[in-house]
Structures are given as C-alpha cells and as structure tokens.
A and B are shown apart, each in its own frame.
Chain A
Amino acid sequence: MIMKKKNKNQTSPVFNNRMYFFLIPALTFFLVFWIYPLLQLFYYSVTDFNGINYDYDFVGFKNYVKVFHNGTLINSMKNTIVYAAVTVVLSNLIGLGIAMALNTKIHLKGFFRTCAYFPALFSAIVVGFIWSYVYMPSSGMIASLVSLLGGDGAGFNPLGDYKIALFAIALVEVWRGFGTTMIIYLAGLQTVDDSLLEAGRIDGCSEWQLTKKIKLPLIAPTITINVILSVINGLKAFDNSFIMTNGGPGKSTKTLMFQVYETAFTDQKMGRASAFSVLAFAFIILITVIMLYFMNKREVEL
C-alpha cells in the first residue's frame, strides 16, 4: 500500500529532483560524442563536403538522388537484410538448440559450453584472419579437406563467388555469435520450473510437446531479447566485409555500414556518405520499430 502511494507522487523527499545531477557525466558524453555528431549528419548530407576542406557548397538533395540512382543504397540494403536474416535465424536456432541439449543432465556440460562460447572471445579482426584461411581456395582448411577426400579443392572459393560470398561471411558471424546467444538461452531455460515439466510428463507429454507447450512459451522473453540483440547486431554488419572481402567480389558483400565507410574514407565523399547514413539510419529505425511491434504483439499472445 505504501509503495502504491509513492508511485503516484512523482517525487518524494527521499527521491527528489536533485537526483538529476547524477546524469551530468553520462549525458555530457552521450550528447557531445553521439547525438551531436548524429545531428550533424543531416547538415553535411546537403553539402559537397569532403571531410577535410571546410570550403564546401550546399548542393540540396543531390547526394540523396545520387545514392538512389547509382544503386549503392538498394544494393547494400539488400545485402544487409540477407546478412542480418541469416545471422539472426542461424545463431538463434543453433544457440537455442545447443542450449537445450546442454540443459539436460549430460556429462562434460561445462566443457561443451566452453567450446561453444570460445569463438565469442576473439576480436573480429582475428576471426576475419582465421576464416580467410578456412575459406581460402586450394590451400585453405575446407579446400584441403575437400581435396583430401578426393573432391575439387582448388575450385572451392566461397569468398570469390559473388553468389555465396555474403552467406559465407554471415556464417562467420554465426560462428562468432551463437555462443553468446546460447549462454543467454541457457540462463532462460534454467528459470523454467522443473515441477511444471514434471507435471507435463505425468500427463503424458512427449519431449517435443514439453518443449513446444512449456519451455518455449516460458522463455519467450529470452527469445525476444536474443532476437532483438542479434537483429541490432546484424544491421550493423561491417567487420567481415571490411576484413575478409573488402566488399567484393563486385559489390556483393557491401553492407550499409561498409558502404558508408567506403564512401567517406576511400572515396572521400563526406556529403554523400552523410546522405547515405541518414537513409541508412531511417532504414534501421524502420526495421527496429517493425521488429519491436511484432515482438511485443507475439509475447502478449503467448
């Protein structure tokens, strides 16, 4: 009852407005190094600024028109969606599957968990190097194995094939990311009350029914958070394109963020990169809002 009263009052003598002073350091950093630069993007997007020379002109919406017309925007949006979809689906399915397998009473549980999580410890750049070797034609890991088994190892070149390069680098992200997803699912599964499962068993449920009717609905919040985190992560895709393929072959692995980086640093077209960023930002917000909307809806239904 006392608690309820307090909730109605906005502040109390104990928790008063002076508490806002605690926000000062964090808010300063956030505004100066994150929000202000973000707003500047809108300004630079209508200029022909090159990032160095401050003698720039206003060019109106030319930059926006340009990124639409030269196809870079649509191409990198498509690549980002494919990359994000592959990583979200695979890292959640594999993460959940392994978490469920490890949530049973098997031997060496800790050891398997460590193995599965291990890749998540590595820096993106180290992961990029390791997988460049794994995917290398003729002398790389997979190619050598294929040759060893009598196949055509020299012809195996996933990073050189524009049709599969994007999937190949998305798979690397799955390799690095599913361990984290798995640990979060494991924690979620451990909150499921054993007595509920026991009751289900007594009522004659099969393992599959137990999973579908009891476990999955109970860990719905965990699924939500994992999907949200991996979608956010997938939309930011940059590292693997930057380190392993440099956007190629052709423009098949240029993601939104790779394209922004390339336009700004390699092509030195800051104005155009800003216009691109503004559109990419709108795109990311749109996807996030749609995702949150569906996630909330689904969780209520369950």
Chain B
Amino acid sequence: MGKANREKETFLKLTPKTLLLYIVIIVFCLLVIAPLVIVFSSSLRTPANQISPLMLFREFSMDSYKRAFENMNYPMTLLNSIATTGGSVVCIVLFATMASYPIGRLKTKMAKFLYYFFISGLIIPSQMVIVPIALTMNRLNIPNTRFTPMLMFITCSLPFSVFLFSGFMKGVPVEIEESAYIDGANLPIRFFSVVFPLLKPAIVSCVITQGLWIWNDYFYPMVFISNKAQYSLPVAMLQFLGDKENPAQWNVLFASCVLCALPLIVLFLILQKQFVNGIAAGAVKG
C-alpha cells in the first residue's frame, strides 16, 4: 500500500448492506471471544467465589492468580518454556536453512528427492511414532531432561521449515552468489554471509509458525519429562486435568489458563504485524 494510496483510503459508506456486514462481523467476533472473556473475568475472582461465571467482572482479586502461580511453579516453568522454545527455534532456523541450500539451488534428481523426502514428514503424526522414538532415545542413552523434547521439536519442524526455505531460496537471485564466487568466497562464507541474510523474511515466518506450536506443545514434554521442576508451561497445566469437571476449582484453573497463555498474548500484541505476515508468508509464498 503506497503513501498516496493510504491518503486516499476511504471507508465503506454506511448503507443497509454494510451495516449488515458490520453486525455479522461484530456478532461473530463476540461469539469467538466470549469464552475467553468469561475465563478472564472468572480468573479475577477469589477461589471461593461461586456465583455464575456469566456475571462478568464483579470482583477484582489476584488470589486465584496467586494460587495458580504457586501450583504451576510459574517462574521455573516459564523459564523452561523460554529456554526450550528459544533453543529449538535457533537450531531449526540454522539446520533448515542449511538443508534448503542444496535442495533449493541444485537441479539434480537427488535434490528433488530430498525435498519430497523431507516434506513427506508433514503427514506423520507424532503420537504414531512416539514409542519407537522413546526406545531409540533409550538406546542412544539420551537422558530425560527438560532439553530432550527439543530433539523432537527440531525434528518435527524440519519438514515445514525445509518446505518454506527451499521455496523461498528460489527467489534469492543466483547472480549475487556467482559474483561472490568470482570474488573468491567459498561455500560456507557464501551461505552465511550472502544467502542467509537474504532469507530474513522466511526466517521470521519460520520462527513465528514453529515457535508458536513448540511453545504450545504439551505432548513431547509430557512423554519425556518426569521431573516436575523441568516442566514447561503447557505440561504444568496437565496437573489440573482432574479439576476441569469441578466448578469449585474453576477460578484457579482459569487463572492458570491465563498465566499459561499470557507470554504469547503479550508477544502477539507487540509483534502483531510480524505474526500476521509470518503466518501468511509460510503458506502463500511456499
């Protein structure tokens, strides 16, 4: 959208038709966020408050949050989540861009085969292979720590990331590399100082799409981590599984739901544009 365009931007005039459009969108958005509003309002009550959650925002107390904060061991689980998500994402970007370099650049049959080999991994659900994976880990003497799930996060992100980067690699002009070659740059230098910086939009997209599922994933940490101090945020939520049927526990449960989602909500509100562009770029340009 150019500058001239933005100045001229006019909004739809208020006709019965556009009014209907507004009403439909507003009602729809209300329906979508209604559960979240109720959850948020209930989380602001004292744990003992039993009036119907539909009575919104009648009480503002942090007591439920205090209880949830302690139950989840929040600082530790938050730190675990940040460390594992951050570490995995860094490795994925590095490994996937490197793998996409030959796949995107070489015109050989081998490169083509490897492309399909990697993206075929998209259709394998993790529940299906989890037991052989656990046995493989055992055989390789990989201990169960907070970092074990990272191995799986990296592996499972490869198909989509390779798909994303090798598609994007085709848009990076080969001429730049050829002139770097003539200037005497060898392969690693060419990759890391010429190609890698040009992949930035795809890297943002990869970090956001993969970071989002890794942060939210509870399955691998649930299988691989047995020590409570090493839990990440979503796994710490699993201990409340029994509480969900018990209305007396709702206020604390909802407070912990908010606490669990809070870091991503904050990040999303700050980086909204990057989120929206990153998610779209992953699918549209790939």
Contacts and interface: CB of A to CB of B under 8 A. Distances in A.
A contact face: mostly helix, strand, loop, or mixed: helix
Given A121-B261, A132-B244, A133-B250, A41 B95 contact: no
Contacts of A81: none
Interface residues of A, number: 99
B106 A10 contact: yes
Contacts of A280: 128
B33 A13 contact: no
Contact of B272 (A114, A122, A277): A114
A115 B10 CA distance: 23
Given A15-B105, A141-B35, A26 B158 contact: yes
B interface residue count range (under 10 / 10 to 19 / 20 to 34 / 35 or more): 35 or more
B36 A119 contact: yes
Interface string B55-88: 0000000000000000000000000000000000
Interface string A61-102: 000000000000000000000000000000000000010011
A235 B234 contact: no
Contacts, number: 264
A123 B21 contact: no
B129 A19 contact: no
Interface of B: 9-12, 18, 21-22, 24-26, 28-29, 32-36, 38-39, 52-54, 94-96, 98-99, 101-103, 105-108, 110, 114, 118, 121-133, 135-136, 140, 151-152, 154-156, 158, 162, 174, 177-178, 181, 187, 191, 212, 215-219, 233-234, 237-238, 240-241, 244-245, 247, 250, 253-254, 257, 260-261, 264-265, 268, 272, 275-277, 279-281, 283-284, 286
8 contacts: A19-B187, A26-B118, A123-B260, A226-B283, A229-B283, A236-B127, A257-B125, A274-B132
Given A25-B94, A139-B247, A260-B127, 18 more contacts: A10-B107, A14-B181, A25-B99, A26-B98, A33-B152, A37-B133, A40-B136, A41-B132, A106-B11, A112-B29, A118-B36, A123-B234, A125-B237, A129-B257, A136-B245, A187-B280, A225-B284, A285-B123
